[in-house]
């Protein structure tokens, strides 16, 4: 991991940078980003004292604020939440109550959305190389809950749906040939894995409309798109607008790839689309000096790039849909971890903590930056006695307990000099934090505590135990099946 200079002293006074809500500070109403320094350190100390460390904290009021800001920026759009960013039931219920739909990437996420109270007509299942058991679950669900929409990005997937008797609501995922995002591993817009190639999309959509109720087209450029990548965002949205007009008003759009007039499609009928889904991927600033994304500017650029898409009968317009995940939950979460080792070496000072890459994988997997603040408490019997305000920052490597070199959260990062027992807060951890946690090294996953004005602080996910590590091995002969073992059918 490369050196990542920069720090976040949470013991400093930040009255001019506060956040309204449940963190206990005063400030501007619904700011575009909550920095790590805006969290109430005394409250975080109290949570760590009650629930131990490592522990995730998620602020549901902040999730609601982010949903409100998104809907205000896209007032006429169908706003959806990409569930994979954080699938916790408390978060899903908050998002549902804010009026967003659920965009799900697996049958398990669909099941979670249903459990959180989403109606099937508010659930969109995006199938990427879907396992057979996932398709069968969704098709069975659609048989008695026909409101669900399936998004498919391969002709093979369409064939598999037909083989299972599905002819319901379908959205076609398109590969626009334009990608963006914070890391090459999450730039989906130009990756062949995702969506029907753009030059075949119109023909594929018309064929799909003969077998399903084709209600939309979909594309996603990538995850963590920042202000410098808005040109790529505009380009791919513009392509989706052109494609949509080709489908809803084919007589007016003759230059879009994949629209050649030949054979049975010499005079194609208009397709009655309900929406054009341009995905999400709206980024958040992880580094303290990065500006917040101007979501209003993004919304304006998105609408301008898409243009007006008329309905098939020409009496209305097709709706824009967006589906961010990270943008709604990232700054609503922190990970609390305790210093257990301070090891000075000639090269660096290593600060060992009880959280690792099994709890927060993003730094190891993406070389991702997360702000880290020292809340102190390690050089006294109370947090007040151990505040690090008077300690000089020193460059440290913060590393976890996993026996891998990649198990570190930062390298050469200036942090108020840590001592054993200090509580560290790792910020902007609400998205793809707990979601990517694992039991590698047979480490139980951490608990999660939710904050809200309605319930104050409450445990919403308990800490796993050693017994949880082996529960799937208990009575395996009675619960296993041949299909479970071989991974399903075609």
Question: How confident is residue 24, by pLDDT bands cut at 50, 70 and 90?
Answer: very low
> For the chain, what percent of residues have pLDDT higher than 70?
82
The values of phi and psi at residue 77, to 5°, are: -90, 160
The mean pLDDT of 27-33, rounded to a whole number, is: 76
- Over the chain, what is the mean pLDDT? 87
Rounded Cα distance between 55 and 458, Å, is 12
- DSSP for 418-436, please give it: --TT-EEEE-S-SSSSGGG
Question: Which residue, 489, 404, 449, is CA-closest to 58?
Answer: 449
Query: How many other β-carbons are positioned within 10 Å of the β-carbon of residue 462?
Result: 13
Binding residues for substrate: 326, 362, 366, 404, 432
The yes-or-no verdict on residue 484 having pLDDT over 90 is no
Give the largest CA-CA distance in the chain.
81
The yes-or-no verdict on residue 69 having pLDDT over 60 is yes
Angle between helices 230-248 and 198-209 (to 10 degrees): 40
The mean pLDDT of 153-159, rounded to a whole number, is: 96
- The region of weakest confidence among 234-238, 445-449, 456-460, 466-470 is 234-238
Rounded Cα distance between 334 and 7, Å, is 15
SS3 395: strand
Question: Which residue, 447, 359, 444, 448, is CA-closest to 409?
Answer: 359
Element (H, E) at 299: helix 295-306
The mean pLDDT of 23-51, rounded to a whole number, is: 83
Binding residues: 281, 323-326, 362, 366, 404, 432
At 325 the pLDDT is 96
The yes-or-no verdict on residue 22 having pLDDT over 60 is no
90-123 residues labelled b (16+ CB within 10 A) or e (exposed): bbbebbbebebbbbbbbbebbebbbebebebebb
Any residues with CB less than 8 A from the CB of 73 and at least 6 apart, and which? 295, 296, 298, 299
At 220 the pLDDT is 83
Angle (CA) 174-179-185 rounded to 5° is 105
The mean pLDDT of 84-90, rounded to a whole number, is: 98
The values of phi and psi at residue 69, to 5°, are: -65, -40
Question: How confident is residue 323, by pLDDT bands cut at 50, 70 and 90?
Answer: very high
- For residues 177, 181, 183 and 189, what is the CA-based torsion angle, rounded to 10 degrees? -20
Angle (CA) 481-154-269 rounded to 5° is 135
* Distance set, CA 127 to CA 107, 110, 152, 347, 379 (Å): 9, 11, 5, 48, 52
Question: How confident is residue 455, by pLDDT bands cut at 50, 70 and 90?
Answer: confident
At 489 the pLDDT is 62
At 14 the pLDDT is 35
Tokens of 281: 């991927």
Question: Which residue, 277, 167, 165, is CA-closest to 214?
Answer: 167
- For residues 132, 136, 137 and 142, what is the CA-based torsion angle, rounded to 10 degrees? 140
Catalytic residues, by residue number, are 403
Rounded Cα distance between 312 and 317, Å, is 9
Q: Which domains does the chain have, with CATH numbers?
A: 15-57+330-469 (2.40.37.10), 60-329 (3.20.20.10)
The values of phi and psi at residue 377, to 5°, are: 100, -5
On whether the CB atoms of residues 334 and 425 are closer than 8 A, the answer is: yes
Question: Among 13-27, 205-219, 257-271, which range has the highest average pLDDT?
Answer: 205-219
SS3 474: coil
Binding residues for pyridoxal 5'-phosphate: 281, 323-326, 432
Q: What is the CA radius of gyration of the chain?
A: 24
At 384 the pLDDT is 63
Question: How confident is residue 189, by pLDDT bands cut at 50, 70 and 90?
Answer: very low
The yes-or-no verdict on residue 12 having pLDDT over 50 is no
Tokens of 415: 């942090």
On whether the CB atoms of residues 195 and 208 are closer than 8 A, the answer is: no
């Amino acid at each position: 991991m490369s050196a990542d200079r920069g720090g976040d002293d949470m013991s400093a006074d930040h009255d001019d940078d506060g956040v309204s809500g449940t963190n206990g500070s005063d400030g501007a109403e619904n700011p575009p980003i909550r920095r790590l320094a805006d969290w109430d350190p005394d409250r975080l100390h109290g949570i760590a004292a009650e629930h131990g460390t490592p522990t995730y904290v998620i602020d549901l009021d902040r999730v609601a604020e982010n949903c409100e800001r998104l809907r205000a920026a896209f007032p006429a759009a169908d706003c959806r939440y990409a569930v994979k960013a954080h699938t916790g039931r408390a978060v899903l219920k908050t998002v549902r109550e804010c009026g967003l739909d659920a965009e799900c990437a697996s049958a398990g996420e669909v099941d979670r959305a249903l459990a959180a109270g989403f109606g099937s007509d508010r659930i969109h299942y995006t199938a990427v190389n879907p396992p057979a058991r996932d398709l069968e679950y969704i098709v069975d669900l659609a048989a008695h809950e026909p409101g669900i929409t399936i998004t498919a990005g391969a002709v093979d997937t369409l064939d598999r749906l037909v083989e299972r008797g599905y002819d319901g609501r379908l959205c076609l995922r398109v590969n626009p040939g334009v990608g963006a995002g914070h890391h090459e591993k999450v730039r989906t817009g130009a990756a062949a894995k995702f969506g029907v190639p753009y030059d075949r999309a119109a023909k594929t959509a018309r064929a799909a409309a003969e077998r399903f109720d084709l209600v939309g087209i979909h594309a996603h450029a990538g995850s963590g798109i920042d202000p410098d990548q808005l040109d790529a965002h505009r380009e791919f949205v513009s392509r989706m607008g052109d494609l949509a007009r080709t489908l809803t008003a084919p007589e007016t759009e003759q230059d879009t790839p994949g629209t050649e007039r030949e054979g049975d499609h010499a005079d194609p009928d208009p397709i009655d689309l309900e929406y054009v889904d341009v995905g999400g991927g709206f980024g958040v600033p992880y580094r303290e000096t990065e500006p917040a994304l101007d979501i209003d500017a993004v919304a304006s650029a998105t609408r301008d790039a898409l243009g007006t898409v008329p309905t098939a009968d020409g009496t209305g317009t097709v709706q824009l849909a967006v589906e961010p995940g990270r943008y709604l939950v990232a700054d609503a979460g922190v990970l609390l971890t305790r210093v257990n080792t301070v090891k000075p070496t000639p090269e660096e000072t290593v600060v060992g903590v009880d959280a690792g890459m099994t709890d927060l994988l993003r730094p190891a997997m993406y070389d991702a930056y997360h702000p880290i603040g020292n809340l102190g408490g390690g050089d006294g019997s109370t947090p007040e006695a151990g505040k690090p305000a008077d300690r000089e920052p020193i460059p440290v490597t913060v590393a976890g307990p996993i026996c891998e070199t990649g198990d570190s959260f930062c390298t050469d990062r200036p942090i108020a000099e840590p001592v054993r027992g200090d509580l560290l807060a790792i910020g902007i951890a609400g998205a793809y934090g707990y979601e990517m946690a694992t039991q590698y090294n047979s480490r139980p996953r951490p608990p999660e505590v939710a904050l809200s004005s309605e319930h104050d602080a409450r445990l919403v996910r308990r800490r796993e135990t050693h017994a949880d590590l082996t529960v799937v091995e208990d009575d395996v002969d009675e619960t296993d099946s041949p299909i479970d073992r071989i991974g399903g059918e075609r």
